């Protein structure tokens, strides 16, 4: 059985709809940063990967404290979307259209993702696609579960009383978010610099 080997340039273009789908998703504070920057931040698969870690850590910390799955979902979303939605226009209006977001995912993103993973020889391109898709899926799952479960009841008293929980929420998790945002951006710009240098070196070689 022949392998579907392709060049990375060909595989790269299959990332475009996957990246756009994540960029147009309303995702709030990506790695704890300004919500207005989320479109630009989620253009990087590395930022998406670190943001997925931030989402999971916040959710697990809230669940551990409250012993309530519903409260943990609501608390995680509340932290990412701290203020009521502002009037939208242009690109923000498109982001707020959930139907359009899911239509784009089904028609454009999912087929490209499946097609890309039928190929071989492009492991890094496939890894970038997973980073986008996991981040998109985590946010959508939180929205979906929050809608079907309704408003949470007040958090239950922790089984193991934790007087450090306010410190965890007020200081440790924001610090963790800042560390993740720094690592994500530093890694992203390092990769951009390395890619540019590699391309310059490639085109500088004599034929």
DSSP state of 164: T
Neighbours of 18 (CB within 10 A): 24
- 144 in helix, strand or coil? helix
Predicted confidence (pLDDT) per residue in 185-206, tens digit: 999 999 889 888 877 776 676 5
DSSP 9-68: HHHHHTHHHHHHHHHTS---SGGGS-GGGHHHHTTSHHHHHHHHHHHHHHHHHHHHHH--
Phi, psi of 206 (to 5 degrees): -70, 145
Give the tens place of pLDDT for each residue, 78-117: 889 876 544 444 444 444 556 666 676 777 677 777 777 7
pLDDT band at 31, cuts 50/70/90? Answer: very high
| Domain ranges within the chain, ordered by starting residue | 13-202
Q: Residue 130's pLDDT band (boundaries 50, 70, 90)?
A: very high
Backbone phi, psi, residue 164, to 5°: -90, 0
């Amino acid at each position: 059985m022949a392998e579907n080997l392709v060049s990375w340039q060909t595989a790269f273009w299959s990332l475009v709809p996957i990246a756009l789908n994540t960029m147009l998703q309303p995702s709030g504070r990506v790695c704890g940063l300004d919500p207005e920057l989320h479109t630009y931040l989620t253009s990087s698969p590395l930022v998406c990967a670190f943001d997925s870690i931030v989402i999971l850590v916040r959710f697990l910390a809230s669940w551990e404290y409250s012993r309530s799955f519903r409260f943990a979902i609501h608390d995680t979303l509340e932290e990412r979307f701290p203020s009521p939605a502002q009037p939208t226009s242009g690109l923000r209006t498109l982001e707020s259209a959930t139907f359009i977001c899911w239509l784009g995912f089904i028609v454009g993103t999912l087929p490209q993702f499946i097609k890309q993973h039928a190929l071989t020889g492009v492991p890094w391109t496939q890894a970038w696609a997973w980073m986008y898709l996991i981040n998109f899926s985590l946010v959508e799952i939180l929205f979906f579960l929050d809608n079907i479960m309704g408003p949470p009841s007040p958090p239950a008293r922790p089984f193991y009383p934790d007087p450090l929980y306010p410190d965890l929420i007020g200081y440790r998790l924001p610090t963790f978010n800042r560390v993740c945002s720094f690592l994500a951006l530093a890694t992203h710009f390092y990769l951009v610099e390395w890619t540019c240098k590699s391309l310059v070196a490639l085109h500088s070689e004599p034929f």
